[in-house]
């Protein structure tokens, strides 16, 4: 498998997403993903499954230091003291001394970015967090976060799949050397119905989902985080990293995305998108 390591944090380019998995399947699926060859697990305080993710990590026959583990903290905990306390609670639930990547899950409407990032700097200095990043940040917010962080910003985790046009954000992050983590890389299953992806999938004898993942990995500095509750799909999703798309195929898929393709935009959390 061509799982490359991306950016300053050396993030494995294919990660396993754990949002909206049935609670009683999380530990089994995390262990199965690791056994299949995934070495990157993405969770969040908000998914209320950190204990099960920790259980899956312990159950798998893989050392902790071989796995790249990410969690995320919600804005209600963005004052510096609350951010540190929330991270420590996440570490406890995960059953680990550190996470590889800690993300500010959504931008706060109240707490200045620099205040939260100062707490993130402290967590990194204390060895509880290896790398810091953000999620759902606009270009200006990314710049503010990078200016306040003492280490290179390891990622902006954003909605990215063939149905949404994220060209400007990707170019912005690329110009700053900041990796893009693609969440909902399968558009929560919608990519399966897209005619362009189906046609290209047929030509490669793979599914539209695999084409979507392969296309994401052709974007500069990009990482894909597919979620599945089906153990049989783990290998397909991992193997998508080996699909080689032609320049013409990439151009066809580039033309699919639109500004209206966004799926995830909760009113209480989403910023005014760029
Ligand atoms: N930072 C954020 O705000 C944020 C927001 C959303 C998501 N995320 C992260 O990104 C991860 C992925 O996004 P997501 O959970 O929204 O959904 P997603 O990965 O885009 O799509 C998951 C859906 O695709 C289906 N699927 C998976 N592999 C498939 C395959 N090979 N062929 C056909 N269908 C397939 C799954 O069905 P089956 O289960 O039946 O396979 C499921 O219905 C999350 O789990 C989470 O870790 C982050």
Question: How many Å lie between the centroid of ligand 1 and the Cα of residue 18?
Answer: 8
Q: What is the DSSP code (8-state) at residue 191? A: G
Question: What is residue 2's predicted lDDT score, i.e. its pLDDT?
Answer: 80
Residue 202 has pLDDT above 80, yes or no: yes
CA angle 88, 146, 47 (to 5 degrees): 40
* Cα radius of gyration (the chain): 18
Instruction: Name residues whose C-beta falls within 8 Å of residue 189's C-beta, 6 or more positions apart in sequence.
Output: none
Identify the CATH number of the domain in which residue 68 sits: 3.20.20.100
User: Is 202 a domain residue?
Assistant: yes
pTM: 0.98
Give the pLDDT score at 46. Answer: 97
Number of separate domains in the chain: 1
Q: What is the mean pLDDT of the chain?
A: 97
Tell how far the Cα of 17 is from the centroid of ligand 1, in angstroms. Answer: 6
Instruction: Tell me the C-alpha distance between 228 and 237, whole Å.
Output: 9
pLDDT of residue 92: 98
Name residues contacting ligand 1 (CB within 6 A).
Answer: 17-20, 42, 105, 135-136, 157, 183-189, 192, 207, 209, 225-230, 233, 236-237, 264
In tens, the pLDDT along 95-141 reads: 999 999 999 999 999 999 999 999 999 999 999 999 999 999 999 99
Kindly state whether residue 6 falls inside one of the protein's structural domains.
no
Residue 69 lies in a domain: yes
Dihedral, CA of residue 162, residue 167, residue 172 and residue 173, to nearest 10: 10
Atom of ligand 1 nearest to the CA of 157: 1
What is residue 217's DSSP assignment? Answer: H
In 3D space, the residue among 41, 274, 70 whose CA is nearest the CA of residue 154 turns out to be 70
Q: Is residue 1 part of a domain?
A: no
- Which residue out of 133, 227, 243, 266 has the highest number of ligand 1 atoms within 8 Å of its CB and is therefore the one to mutate? 227
Q: What is the mean pLDDT of residues 42-53?
A: 98
Distance, CA 111 to ligand 1 centroid (Å)? 30
Q: In whole angstroms, what is the distance from residue 98 CA to residue 91 CA?
A: 7
> Is 2 within the bounds of a domain?
no
Q: What is the arithmetic mean of pLDDT over 4-14?
A: 97
Q: Which domain holds residue 35?
A: 11-261
How far apart, in whole angstroms, are the C-alpha atoms of residue 226 and residue 42? 10
Task: Report yes or no on 5 lying in a domain.
Answer: no
How confident is the model over 221-255, as pLDDT tens digits?
999 999 999 999 999 999 999 999 999 999 999 99
Query: pLDDT tens across 170-198, in order?
Result: 999 999 999 999 999 999 999 999 999 99
Measure the CA angle with vertex 120, ends 115 and 124; round to 5°: 150
Q: Which helix (H) or strand (E) holds 269?
A: none
CA 215 to each of CA 31, 233, 251, 263: distance values in angstroms, whole numbers, following the listed order:
27, 18, 10, 19
Which residues carry out catalysis?
Answer: 47
Q: Which of 66, 70, 68 is nearest to 50 (CA)?
A: 70
Span 13-41, pLDDT tens digits: 999 999 999 889 999 999 999 999 999 99
For 78, other C-beta atoms within 10 Å of its C-beta total 24
Please check whether residue 269 lies inside any domain of the structure: no
Residue 158 domain-assigned? Answer: yes
pLDDT at 1 over 80: no
Residue 99, helix vs strand vs coil: strand
Question: How much distance in Å is there from the Cα of 72 to the middle of ligand 1?
Answer: 17
What's the CA gap between 60 and 30, in Å, rounded? 8
* Coil vs helix vs strand at 50: helix
CA distances from 15 to 69, 76, 78 (A): 9, 26, 26
């Amino acid at each position: 498998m061509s799982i490359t390591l991306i950016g300053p944090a050396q993030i494995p380019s294919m990660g396993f997403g754990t949002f909206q998995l049935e609670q009683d399947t999380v530990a089994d699926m995390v262990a199965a993903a690791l056994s299949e060859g995934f070495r990157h697990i993405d969770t969040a305080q908000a998914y209320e499954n950190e204990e099960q993710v920790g259980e899956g990590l312990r159950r798998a026959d893989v050392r902790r230091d071989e796995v790249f583990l990410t969690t995320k903290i919600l804005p209600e905990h963005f004052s510096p003291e609350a951010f540190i306390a929330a991270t420590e609670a996440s570490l406890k639930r995960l059953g680990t001394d550190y996470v590889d990547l800690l993300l500010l899950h959504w931008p706060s409407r109240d707490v200045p970015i620099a205040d939260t990032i100062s707490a993130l700097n402290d967590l990194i200095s204390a060895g509880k967090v290896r790398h810091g990043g953000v999620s759902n940040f606009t270009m200006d917010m990314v710049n503010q976060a990078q200016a306040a962080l003492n280490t290179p910003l390891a990622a902006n985790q954003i909605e990215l799949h063939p149905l949404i046009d994220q060209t400007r954000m990707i170019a912005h992050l690329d110009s700053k050397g900041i990796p893009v983590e693609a969440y909902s890389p399968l558009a929560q299953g919608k990519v399966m119905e897209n005619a362009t992806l189906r046609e290209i999938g047929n030509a490669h004898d793979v599914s539209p989902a695999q084409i979507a993942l392969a296309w994401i990995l052709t974007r500069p500095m990009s990482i894909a985080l597919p979620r599945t509750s089906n153990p049989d799909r783990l290998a397909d999703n991992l193997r998508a990293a080996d699909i080689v798309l032609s320049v013409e195929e990439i151009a066809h898929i580039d033309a699919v995305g639109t500004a209206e393709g966004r799926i995830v935009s909760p009113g209480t959390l989403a910023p005014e998108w760029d």
